[in-house]
Structure 1
Amino acid sequence: MPHVSDAPNPGTSPETLASIVCPDRLATPFGALDFFDGMPMPDTVTRSYDTLDLLRGIEAFLNCVPGASMVALRRGLRSIGVDSRTIGYTAPRCTSAPVVLTGNTETTYGMTFLALDEDGPTVIEAPGNSLCVVDDMWQRYVTDMGIAGPDKGEGGEYLFLPPGYEGEVPDGYFAVRPTTYGSWVLLRALGGTESLLTARIYPLWASADRPEQRFVNWAESDFNTVHANDFSFFEEIDTIVQAEPAESLDPERAGQLAALGIVRGRPFQPDDRMRSILDTAARIASGIVRTLAFKPRDPGFYHYPDRSWKTPFPTGSYEFLSAEGARLLDSRAVFYYFATASSPAMVTAPVGTGSQYAYTAEDSTGEWLDGGRHYTLTLPSGVPAKNFWAVNAYDPQTRSLLRTDHPYPSVNSQSEGVRAESNGDTVVHFGPTAPGAEQANWVQTVPGKGFFVMLRLYGPLESWFDKSWRPGEIVPA
């Protein structure tokens, strides 16, 4: 039998016609669009395509921040001599000199980028007692190594295989197959510099006679690893599109970029009109994502309904998925705009492993944090961190450690002299000058600049997850 629809027939009533026809003039935020019986007039054709290209440019920026961030980070590391067989590291710990997205001053970092197209299958010997993660060039999770990885913190040998690799896979390795030739390797050694320096990276073909490991200490180096907020952002994205397998990017984002002229195997050569539009798109999008980050409208961003502390993982998904499986586009854009390295260990790791984060740029009255004022933050006794906790201050422009007279803008449980109150609470002070004798508990700020604060918990405990322990608000003195 033929299918009979239960839907009512809308007919051709005036109301129905009004909903499907195009008026002769449409007022829009981009100017008026004029039509002749639904067909666009010449000025409307031009304005429509300018508008479409601008909107696609904005969306492409917001959706492709993870990739641009990887390109900028790799470029920055290469500028100081870190190639695919060199590990850049921080000894004894990272200062505010490098422009690195929300780096911390507590753990010893190691970083490099794989080049599987040049080196072939590559071995990484991960240090023990570490929190290491590998992301591909679109900053999608590849694997954890260390405490949250299959070696369980004992140290292990990981073999990274190029996309499409069909050769023999020898025994004795944790085999990993990234979707891109380039991958970012982040090594965080809880045992400090000595432990970090046990890490090794080399091509599989050199495993019988391993070369001496090269290291570059960048803790106090002034270099940039942050992506652009202008037209050159799209040139950064084109770098990945040209170098990586076409199938490594999902069709939706590939389609957005293709509409802008970024296609694998073709030169990206926008004319003056398109360059101007994309420059505007990048600047608008960078403003939008700052709004999303510092004043999110999704209540899921807030750790607590009555406090300003936020998380970029509103659903607890490192893949930025809702409970229904939809991609949370705002969440993904926010995280990758001011941070790096997404992994399950940062979101869903078992109690006592991995790490947890909360950030805020507001004081207890809802005003932006001002580097010319004095504030206090109370961390109640029993801070839920098995390994250690830290409070860092960041520059809202660069999203990197705040540059002050002191190279380490932080207070943490490993800092010498940090004092707790008689009741066990720890009070952290922020301001341009030290509050009397409380220098160990003080983070210096800069008059005339804002700042934001991030609380880090390494090895978070149950009272963090069940929210029975909560950090105080940042209170103006």
Structure 2
Amino acid sequence: MKFASTALALGIVASFASGNSALAQGAGPGAAYNFERGFPAGDTAQRARDDADLQRAITAYRFWYPTVSNEGIFNGNRSVGIEDGKAWGIAAAGPRQLGFTLNSDTPYGSGVLDLSGGPMVIELPPGAFIGLVDDHHQGWVLDMGLPGPDAGKGGKHLVLPPDYKGKLPAGYFTGRSKSLKNLFALRALPVGGDVAKAMAALRAVKIYPLASAAKPQPLKVVDTTAIRMDSSSLRWEDNIQFWQQLAKIIEAEPLVPSFLPMYGLLAELGIAKGKPFSPDARMTAILERAARAGRDQMLVSAFASNRPDRVNWPDRKWEWVGLVPGSAQFETPSGLDLEARDRWFAQAIVTSPAMFRRNAGAGSLYWLSAMDSSGAYLDGGKNYRLTIPQPVPGKLFWSVTVYDSATRSQVQTDQDKAALRSLFELKDVKTTAPLDLHFGPTAPAGQEGRWIKTEPGKGWFAYIRIYGPEAAAFDKSWKPGDFEAVNP
């Protein structure tokens, strides 16, 4: 992550911590401490200590959430036998791949770049790729492919470890990481709907250590298309495992100088480099409570934000997913946008300046809707219709993807489908008339090909994605309908 100074990180501490005292054990909103002759009386000292530790823990949770979330991605690959720095996975993804707002629009490739042995090279052939490298903390390192400096013409990208002091070779696009473990993520656009060709394009990518550049021995490529995977941090995010995973990362990775105030918070909670993490019963209870509260606060930012700038059309329920245009790390001239940061990482993964651009020709854009036209949250037991005006202002393609609100991953049903895509299910529709799409437990007669199944008893939300967006996607001259509840 990229911070201007330690002072900015200190601002994060103060901003995150404010307002959390009402969550402290035994204290209700506005509860006061009892002092006599200037000294804490009765149980005040213990309550104050518990309150302070809980505030620190909630602050730390929200700051370090992207780090632990990224570890979930790493662990997903490891769980199917893809070892760090030895292989990477590719997939024509679907609902069987659990991960925060993953989509089925394009085949994916991802893996761990391990820089402990020195710089790594990613060699892209020419083609329709969109890719990036983020560090262990989901801080942006470099872009590749169409949004990157190679602009889809191919090239060699070099990822440097934090302390690399060697001579930089010529002919590479270079980025320096703040960590040893890094996420490499790449998608190959299925031009014309040709998934097999896009998968072949991913297989042509070469990843290898710079030290072996004279005779490259690329990392092995593993196809995980048919494998059920969990690349999320869901199993850790609301319990003590969050802190256990974070402690391992802090021990393994070099310190990031601009994070020093946040390391200080962790030290107060018993997590420090070079020391074992072994919380007692009191601290374990506080940390677990903080994990639940921190996660829930982030979900409110994701699905119930009251930020006025989240709205693109005042008469629609669709919202911008990213709230800071063009910033890889949610930075503004006046500081770090904490609400935008929480909102993004509660529901999504990876960051890059290209992901948040709002101009014609940007790589892609994302709108979120979690409510129907009446303002009620979307219900898996109800049927809905969504009207999409045609043509959609995208040079490449577009899609609507449905996500389970509990997992923030594609809905999993016996339909085994979560998206309606212009390159696939909708490739033959006329682009001169509005298009009705359908969502719910029951398909309208004759509309099965334009329908995504949802499960009663579950909530869901949707993303509209437009790839290669045109001006009408930004100037409000084009706007989608809202989800309208209908009878089956």
- For normalisation by structure 2, the TM-score amounts to 0.88
**Who is 1:76 aligned against?**
76
The 5-angstrom pairing of residues 228-377 of structure 1 reads 228=236, 229-247=238-256, 250-319=259-328, 321=330, 323-348=332-357, 351-377=360-386
Q: 1:182 and 1:194 mapped to 2: Cα distance?
A: 26
**Who is 1:33 aligned against?**
33
Indicate the larger mover: 224-233 or 344-353. 344-353
**Who is 1:5 aligned against?**
none
The 5-angstrom pairing of residues 132-281 of structure 1 reads 132-191=131-190, 192-211=198-217, 213-227=219-233, 228=236, 229-247=238-256, 250-281=259-290
Deviation (angstroms), 1:434: 1.5
The 5-angstrom pairing of residues 4-43 of structure 1 reads 28-29=28-29, 32-43=32-43
Q: 2:398 and 2:425 mapped to 1: Cα distance?
A: 13
Distance 1:353 1:364, change over 3 A: same
Distance 1:363 1:419, change over 3 A: farther
Asked if 2 retains the 8 angstrom alpha-carbon contact of 1:163 and 1:177, the reply is yes
Deviation (angstroms), 1:393: 0.5
**Who is 2:390 aligned against?**
381
**Who is 1:53 aligned against?**
53
Deviation (angstroms), 1:223: 2.6
Q: 1:141 and 1:212 mapped to 2: Cα distance?
A: 24
Letter in 1 for 2:93: C
Q: 1:460 and 1:256 mapped to 2: Cα distance?
A: 42
Paired residue secondary structure (1:377): strand
Asked if 2 retains the 8 angstrom alpha-carbon contact of 1:420 and 1:427, the reply is no
**Who is 2:413 aligned against?**
404
Asked if 1 retains the 8 angstrom alpha-carbon contact of 2:95 and 2:412, the reply is yes
Q: 2:142 and 2:278 mapped to 1: Cα distance?
A: 36
Letter in 2 for 1:370: D
Deviation (angstroms), 1:290: 1.2
Letter in 2 for 1:231: I
Letter in 1 for 2:76: G
Asked if 2 retains the 8 angstrom alpha-carbon contact of 1:430 and 1:443, the reply is yes
Letter in 1 for 2:347: F
Among 117, 120, 130, which residue is 2:118 paired with?
120
Moved over 6 A (4+): none
Listed as ranges, the gaps of 5+ residues in structure 1 are 1-25
**Who is 2:402 aligned against?**
393
Asked if 1 retains the 8 angstrom alpha-carbon contact of 2:207 and 2:219, the reply is yes
Paired residue secondary structure (1:356): strand
Q: 2:307 and 2:323 mapped to 1: Cα distance?
A: 8
Letter in 2 for 1:120: G
Distance 1:201 1:250, change over 3 A: same
Asked if 2 retains the 8 angstrom alpha-carbon contact of 1:116 and 1:161, the reply is yes
Deviation (angstroms), 1:113: 1.1
Deviation (angstroms), 1:37: 2.1
Indicate the larger mover: 174-183 or 248-257. 248-257
Q: 1:467 and 1:475 mapped to 2: Cα distance?
A: 21
**Who is 1:18 aligned against?**
none
> Which whole-Å deviations, capped at 9, do the CAs of 1:69-117 have from their partners, x for residues lacking one?
1111111111112232312111xx2111121111101101000111101
Q: 1:429 and 1:383 mapped to 2: Cα distance?
A: 17
**Who is 1:16 aligned against?**
none
Deviation (angstroms), 1:139: 0.4
Distance 1:417 1:29, change over 3 A: closer
Q: 1:87 and 1:301 mapped to 2: Cα distance?
A: 36
Q: 1:27 and 1:448 mapped to 2: Cα distance?
A: 34
Paired residue secondary structure (1:205): helix
Deviation (angstroms), 1:452: 0.6
Q: 1:366 and 1:253 mapped to 2: Cα distance?
A: 38
Distance 1:141 1:286, change over 3 A: same
Identity between Structure 1 and Structure 2 (%):
37
Q: 2:27 and 2:98 mapped to 1: Cα distance?
A: 44
Distance 1:238 1:453, change over 3 A: same
Number of equivalenced pairs: 449
Q: 2:128 and 2:418 mapped to 1: Cα distance?
A: 25
* Root mean square deviation of aligned Cα: 2.0
Q: 2:108 and 2:430 mapped to 1: Cα distance?
A: 31
Distance 1:27 1:257, change over 3 A: closer
Paired residue secondary structure (2:150): coil
**Who is 1:8 aligned against?**
none
Among 450, 457, 467, which residue is 2:466 paired with?
457
Q: Does residue 1:414 correspond to 2:423, yes or no? A: yes
Asked if 2 retains the 8 angstrom alpha-carbon contact of 1:320 and 1:329, the reply is no
Deviation (angstroms), 1:318: 2.8
**Who is 1:7 aligned against?**
none
Q: 1:422 and 1:77 mapped to 2: Cα distance?
A: 39
Letter in 1 for 2:162: P
Deviation (angstroms), 1:236: 1.9
Asked if 2 retains the 8 angstrom alpha-carbon contact of 1:415 and 1:440, the reply is no
> Which whole-Å deviations, capped at 9, do the CAs of 1:93-147 have from their partners, x for residues lacking one?
2111121111101101000111101x31111112421110111111011111000
Q: 1:421 and 1:475 mapped to 2: Cα distance?
A: 22
Asked if 1 retains the 8 angstrom alpha-carbon contact of 2:330 and 2:341, the reply is no
Q: 1:87 and 1:320 mapped to 2: Cα distance?
A: 26
Indicate the larger mover: 66-75 or 202-211. 202-211
Asked if 1 retains the 8 angstrom alpha-carbon contact of 2:99 and 2:230, the reply is yes
Deviation (angstroms), 1:184: 0.6
Deviation (angstroms), 1:324: 3.4
**Who is 2:107 aligned against?**
108
Paired residue secondary structure (1:246): coil
- For normalisation by structure 1, the TM-score amounts to 0.90
Q: 1:257 and 1:301 mapped to 2: Cα distance?
A: 32
**Who is 2:4 aligned against?**
none
> Which whole-Å deviations, capped at 9, do the CAs of 1:288-312 have from their partners, x for residues lacking one?
2111111101111222223211223
Asked if 2 retains the 8 angstrom alpha-carbon contact of 1:180 and 1:248, the reply is no
